[in-house]
Structure 1
Amino acid sequence: MLRKVNKRACYSFMMPNVLGNLLNGSKAKFLYIQSLRSYFHCLDDMASYTAFFLALVTGILSLCAPTASGGEAIDLEALSSFKISITSDPLDALANWRNLTHHCNWPGVACDSRRSVVSLILPEKQLEGVISPFIANISYLTYLDLSSNSFRGSIPFCLGKLGRLQSLSLASNVLDGSIPETIGNCISLTTASLSNNKLSGHIPSALGGCKKLRGLDLSSNVLEGMIPVNISQLLNLEQLLNLSNNRLEGVIPAEIGRLSLLSSLDLSSNMLSGRIPSELGNLTKLRYLNISRNHLEGPVPQIGVLASFNWSNFEGNDELCGVSDSSPCSKVARSHQHRRHTAMVASVVSVCVFLALLFCFVFYCICLRDRHRTTLIEYNPYPDPNYKKSYLQERTDSFNAENIIGSSSGSIVYKGGNIAVNVYKTDCSRQTDFFYRYIGSLLKIRHRNLLNVVGFCREESFYALVTEYEPNGHLDTLMHAARMEDRRMTFDLSKRIDVLISTAGALIHLHEYCQSRIVHGHLKPTNIYLDEHFRFRVGGFGTLELLQDHLQQERKASSAMEGTISYLAPELADMERVTPKADVFSLGVILMEMLTGRKAPASLETESGERISLRQWIEKGINGGSLATLADPALGQNISERESERKKIADLFKISLLCTEEIVESRPTMSQVLAWLDNIKHDRVDSNTGI
């Protein structure tokens, strides 16, 4: 009979011995065989045999493989084990994972200048299988994204070895089992998304060790138990804390009120009970709150930020009161007393009621059997509007033209105090399903560089989206300041790179980390705002498909629309295939505009009278070796005095041309663009691209 011991101990003993001793020579082979023999005695179920088989195959391949440096060899072995654990790859996402090319060039894999693997990004590839535990041996792994696939089994507990891991996304798979306690060892983790799986058990208290976490999404699983109190140790949590659609019970910890940076809190659709702690009113940065569909009771504290939310944020808690549109607290108290008085009567008639219901059920089943068609029960699948037209009219002085802060052929944007009201000219009634689906997605999006959507209004043919309003203007004003000295002092090269990094990070969040992947499609400088801390935030997203009828009209419009059209990718003309690469094109045009100091019209007129695009003008200048004549005069000092700054500007021009390739497949991804920009900012060189 096989000896049964702790499987975690077996893994921890086996992995460093198997993968850590893959050196040259007979001694290594001897150590490898000894490790496998020791591990074999730990096997007690089929899952263990599977892991043993993977280790055996990986070890044999590694001992027979060509010699490589220690770190590279370990990374290669870990990636090979990962591939072996994949049982189905219908899109051939890993077809090019062969020893013919260096593993740093494999699709989904990225390395740093030391050729150490730093990211493994394979979302939406329809991969099936288990997540190989050997992935934890990629010691420099920083980004791991396996979301929207069909990975099964449990999350490997050994992921806790990844002390450099910053972003973890395993959302939208079929993972089960519990969240391993070792996740608390990932001390560099900033975002973690494990939503839309079948994870069970308790939320590990060890998560409190991830002090750098800024976003945590565990929604849509079957987690149970209480919310751990030490979640309040995550003081850097600012993007979101989403624990919705689970089976959590107990009270809402008052300690959550210590998360002073938190902007989004969603605890809806659980079994939480007790009162809402007044400490939640201390969350001054909170822009989105949803604790609906629980078993909470008592008055909603009208303290601090809690007083700014309406009943839609609390509905589905029958015992709550004290918010507009909810039951008055006195009525709830009388209801409690009435229920106590009627409890005895209810117990007496319960048997009669049960028999009556049983009779009705039998009668209904008989009728249902004889019916060939059934009538659908109507229900409302849409989110409820949280703004009324009369309120928006009051805030915008009846949509006074003096309050217009932006417009397009599809909508007009009005200022209304601390909110901006985007009123659609499009007849959204023809796209009601899409409108509500998109609104539901937009209300959940939270990122430090995205302008938050706070609500919407729909009354008959009136459709409006409500966002935050930033009073410090937008990027277009900053880029084209009238005085050159102002641009040189307040918008130097470093600040321009920071704008691009912030914008790319926000777009990656829309493309890769939202439950409904979103393409901005309308990116331009007037949609990049400055908040009260002079941080850049992207707005105007989420309306691409609502505006599709107008995009074709805009491309045929007069020169008055020329400034907007210049930023739109060419494939948006027919709307047949819209991908995140459309936003890459727009960012490339903005980068050209930043570097040249010229606004981005559809075409420029040369000295010979020829009309060419801004891209063609830059290509001519670069081929002619006249970088100084291309660059914004405010950057002239950067070019003439510092060779390192000249190199940065040349690389940025190169990125702008790559981003604005007419063929969609020739453009880089937004993640690649962000990596290049980060390399330029920190004076690093990517060995694979040269940028």
Structure 2
Amino acid sequence: MSLLQLCFTSFLLLLPLPLYSLNDEGLALLSFKQSLQQKPSTTQLQNWNPSDTNPCSWEGIGCNQLGRVISLTLPYKQLAGSFHLDSTNLTQLRHVNLRSNNLTGTLPPELLRSPALKTLVLSENSISGPIPPEIGTADRLQTLDLSHNSFNGPLPPSILNCKRLKQLVLSSNLFSGSLPDGIGPNLITLQSLNLSSNAFTGRIPGDIGNLSNLQGALDLSHNLFTGAIPSSLGALPETVYIDLSHNNLSGPIPQSRTLLDAGPTAFLGNPLLCGPPTKALCLSLPEKPKPMADDPLLEPGSGERRLSPALLAIAIVSGTVLAIGVVALSFAYWRRAQYGKRNDVAVAAAAGRSGAAGKEMLCFSRRDDVESLASENVEQYAFLKVEADPGFDLEQLLKASAFLLGNGGAGIMYKVVIENGASLAVRRLEDGGGGQRFREFQGEVEAIGKIRHPNIVRLLACCWCASEKLLIYEYVPNGNLATAIHGRNGVTNFKPMPWSTRLRILKGLARGLTFIHECSPKRYVHGHLKPTSILLTSDMDPRIADFGLNRLACNPTTAEESSSFEPPLAHTESSRTPSQCSPYPLTPTNAKTNNASFYYEAPEMASRSSASSSSKPSQKWDVYSYGMILLEIVTGKSPAAILNASEMDLGKWVQLSIDVSKAIGDIVDPFLAHDSGKELQMAAVMKIGLACVGGNPDKRPSMRNVGVALEKAGDE
């Protein structure tokens, strides 16, 4: 190219720029758009107009009050191409979310140089290459989610400079090499660390045990880690979900409560691990004694002690006989304990709320034909500890005093007080058809039992028998959310919750659901969230109940809920029993129903009204339920009452009220009138709720984004 041609080309490239009134931030974003593959059929980013003065009105762009760009949020937009985003002129850019697109290429180092960057979410794309060492310059970064891409290479040591990181999610990539030392001391603010499904090697750094602020997950599963499990992991908070499965770890598992509570599934796929909570025994070999010089068993000229063939044969025969005797005695004792002891086991329960004395067989009711059981499956009865030390055993449970809390389609709920004065919540599930075998039940219990979070009710233990099951939970003493919002029938001293308490409950629920969706091993869906399945502690902190209930109930017979059922004071009943062994409840096709859960179910759940439906359960169902609960908390209005009075759901009623310019005070709960000065917060929170109850599930936010939005709204 001649000099004249080069100058002419440069002139053409520069010619349009003086026509732009767009500021530098808008030009940087236009450069990002131009780096993407522009498809004629796509309508994305069509309003990114270079004739605008600033980009604040563009799709996916958020600005602060000064008109500076602070967020780029374009998830699920089918954006494609090797993107380029230079943050040199985006000095206030704090949040970047490009989740679930078709982005390729590598991570632009220029993006990491943004001095204000706090959130970077690029999950579920096809980005490859290593993490640039420039990651260390993003020292304000709090959330880094690069999961489900093709990143490779080792984790750069410079990431230890990101000392404010709270969420580090690198799962399902091609990372390799060993982890850098110093994760614990340098990333002390981490609340969740997920490095699963990569090819990391070497030993697990012992300093990871210093991550005392972990609240969510420590997931190192499906890697190539070797060596022993550091004993320092036992110092992690007990609520942390730990998964070390499918590595090459070896040796005994440190006996700490945190690791024992993780359950055996947290250590699967490590055949050289031993000790509780696994069933593999640790065989400790005694030290070899130092041989004496005149030892007749010492082979001349060798340093080894060897038995003669005759003595060796005697030792083998004696050991075999002794082992057979021990096994026979153990089996006789076990059989007596299994079948003899359980003949007379029963639990007394209150006959009703009036306090009248009565008896209720909770489990292990009397069997006359005990001998016939001996020839059947030895797992006719089982007591499963979900926690290594739940604080009680089966005998204490069966001797406890039980008080009836409620009776519904999901079984009877009791408050049980054991001999040391501790209270438990026990749900009795009938399984007359034997719809779920023990191994299936045990698998579900172990999976659900791994879900440990401060905002989720803990499952402590279970009883399984052929005709019924018991689920033993921690007892949450302060009633459920429905009672806290609306009070109880016949109770006059109802004290409404202030705005600060309602906002704290909403944030806690968002954290709990985010954990269920993102930190659980199978990315679960709750499936039947409603105010009666949200319990409150004495400090008014929320606990999500009934998680996994449908998976554990698995009742093949339909049991309709009593129409006179009233939600119990402290614990909740599921709205219905599924008509088949299904992990999620089915929804009736009729719009009007007496089922209280109906008003919180996403519209698309109606497609699951038949057992033959192939629609996949979605986490966006939970988002819809959460949004409806949020609007109920803010407005103080029951979705059922709104639907019956106006023939529209609560979300549409709130949106209509906003559209006709009703004052915020006329929309929110009248009791919140005392919280003057919080109207902007309430309006912002209602906007989040309306986004959650949108009719298109693809446009509903994730629970993680809901939590982030609530934190911002609470700071206003």
TM over 0.5, shorter chain: yes
Report the equivalent of 1:312.
265
Contact 1:449/1:536 (CA < 8 Å) preserved in 2? yes
- Residue 78 in structure 1 maps to residue 41 in structure 2: no
Q: Which residue of 2 aligns with 1:265?
A: 218
Would you say 1:192 and 2:144 are equivalent positions?
yes
Query: How do 1:127-166 residues align onto structure 2 when only pairs under 5 Å count?
Result: 127-135=79-87, 137-166=89-118
How far apart, in 2, do the equivalents of 1:141 and 1:568 lie?
37
- Deviation of 1:132 (Å): 0.8
How far does the alpha carbon of each residue in 1:288-314 deviate from its partner, in whole angstroms, 9 at most, with x for none? 222233333322221342343444322
Report the counterpart of residue 587 of structure 2 in structure 1. 551
In structure 2, how many angstroms separate the alpha carbons of the residues matched to 1:537 and 1:554? 31
Which whole-Å CA distance do the structure 2 matches of 1:477 and 1:588 have between them? Answer: 18
Aligned to 2:672: 635
1:390 paired residue among 383, 394, 407: 383
Among residues 123, 145, 156, which one is paired with 2:75 in the alignment? 123
1:63 aligns with 2:99: no
Residue 565 (str. 1) matches residue 598 (str. 2): yes
- Specify the code of the residue in structure 2 equivalent to 1:528: I
Question: Relative to total residues, which structure has the larger helix share, 1 or 2?
Answer: 1
CA distance in 1, matches of 2:13, 2:463: 61
Distance 1:103 1:514 in 2: 38
Q: Contact 1:208 / 1:232 at 8 angstroms: preserved in 2?
A: no
**Aligned pairs (5 A) from 1:242-261:** 242-261=194-213
Residue 686 (structure 1) aligns with: none
Please list the CA deviations of residues 85-106 of structure 1 after superposition, one character each: whole Å capped at 9, or x if unmatched.
2236598262524317663333
In our comparison, the structure showing a higher alpha carbon Rg is 2
Q: How does 1:104-119 map to 2 (within 5 A)?
A: 104-119=56-71
Q: Distance in 2 between matches of 1:531 and 1:273?
A: 41
Q: Report the CA distance between 1:444 and its aligned residue.
A: 8.1
Amino acid of the residue matched to residue 31 of structure 2?
S
Q: Which residue of 2 aligns with 1:6?
A: none
Cα pair distance change 1:318/1:632, threshold 3 Å: closer
Secondary structure of 2:640's counterpart equals coil
Distance 1:513 1:65 in 2: 50
CA 1:572 to 1:645, structure 2 compared with 1: closer, same or farther past 3 Å?
same
Partner-residue secondary structure (3-state), 2:229: coil
Partner of 1:601: 640
Aligned 1:164-313 pairs, distance under 5 A: 164-234=116-186, 236-237=188-189, 239-263=191-215, 264-313=217-266
Asked if 1 retains the 8 angstrom alpha-carbon contact of 2:239 and 2:452, the reply is no
The answer on 1:99 being equivalent to 2:49 is yes
Using a 3 Å threshold, how does the CA distance of structure 1 residues 266 and 319 change in structure 2: closer, same or farther? Answer: same
Q: 1:682 and 1:289, CA in 2 relative to 1: closer, same or farther beyond 3 A?
A: closer
Q: Is the 8 A contact 2:262 2:450 kept in 1?
A: no
How far is 1:659 from its partner?
6.1
Aligned position for 1:574: 607
Which letter maps to 2:97?
D
Aligned CA distance change for structure 1 residues 512 and 312 (closer, same or farther; 3 Å) = closer
Q: State the TM-score, normalized to the length of structure 2.
A: 0.63
List per-residue Cα deviations over 1:194-230 (Å, max 9, x = no partner).
Answer: 2233222221222222222222222232322222121
Partner in structure 1 of residue 556 of structure 2: none
Query: Does 1:323 find its partner at 2:268?
Result: no
CA distance in 2, matches of 1:297, 1:190: 33
Deviation at 1:420, TM superposition (A): 7.1
Query: Could you tell me how far apart the structure 1 residues matched to 2:224 and 2:686 are?
Result: 55
Q: 1:254 to 1:117 in 2, by over 3 A?
A: same
Alignment of 1:522-561 (within 5 A): 522-530=528-536, 534-540=540-546, 546=582, 550-552=586-588, 557-558=593-594, 561=595
Structure 1 partner of 2:37: 87
Letter in 2 for 1:172: E
> Does the Cα contact within 8 Å between 1:419 and 1:467 map onto a contact in 2?
yes
Q: Match of 1:500?
A: 506
Partner of 1:20: none
Maintained 8 Å contact 2:72/2:95: yes
Aligned 8 A contact 1:422 1:465 in 2: yes
Is the Cα contact below 8 Å between 1:191 and 1:215 reproduced in 2?
yes
| Paired position in structure 2 for 1:590 | 629
Paired letter, 2:633: M
Q: Can you give the 5+ residue segments of structure 2 that lack an aligned partner in the other structure? A: 1-5, 288-303, 305-380, 386-392, 417-421, 552-581, 609-614
1:66 partner amino acid: Y
- 1:478 partnered with 2:507: no
Mark the CA change 1:269 to 1:514 in structure 2 (over 3 Å): closer, same or farther.
closer
Q: What secondary structure is seen at the aligned counterpart in 1 of 2:600?
A: coil
Contact 1:265 1:286 in 2 (8 A): no
1:174–1:671 distance in 2 versus 1, CA, 3 Å: closer
Residue 552 of structure 1 deviates from its aligned partner by 1.0
Q: Which moved more, 1:670-679 or 1:158-167?
A: 670-679
Contact 1:281 1:303 in 2 (8 A): yes
For 1:551, the aligned partner's letter is: T
Q: Say whether the 8 Å CA contact 1:104–1:110 is kept in structure 2.
A: yes
1:230-268 Cα distance to aligned partner (Å, 9 max, x none): 101255445422222333222222211111232422222
Residue in structure 2 matched with residue 29 of structure 1 by the alignment: none
2:460 and 2:402 map into 1 onto residues whose CA distance is 23
Measure how far apart 1:577 and its partner are. Answer: 9.3
User: How do 1:348-427 and structure 2 match up within 5 A?
Assistant: 389-391=382-384, 394=394, 409=409
TM-score of the two chains, using structure 1 as the length reference: 0.65
Instruction: Check the 8 A contact 2:227/2:250 in 1, yes or no.
Output: yes
Cα distance change of structure 1 residues 223 and 173 upon mapping to structure 2, 3 Å threshold: same
- Once residues 710 and 200 of structure 2 are traced to their aligned partners in structure 1, the CA distance between those partners, rounded to angstroms, is 42
Change over 3 Å in CA distance of 1:189–1:80 after alignment to 2: same
Q: Deviations over 1:545-601 (max 9, x none)?
A: 94666321796543xx34x33333444333479876655554454344334444443
Q: CA RMSD in A?
A: 5.3
Q: Is the 8 A contact 2:44 2:77 kept in 1?
A: no
Q: 1:389 to 1:242 in 2, by over 3 A?
A: farther
* Structure 1: gaps (5+ residues): 1-32, 35-52, 335-340, 342-387, 684-691
Q: Which amino acid in 1 is paired with 2:238?
A: K
Q: Is the 8 A contact 2:103 2:127 kept in 1?
A: yes
Q: How many Å apart are 1:278 and its aligned residue?
A: 1.5
Deviation at 1:646, TM superposition (A): 5.1
* C-alpha separation in 2, matches of 1:429 and 1:674: 38
Name which of structure 1's ranges 231-240 and 411-420 shifts more when overlaid on structure 2.
411-420
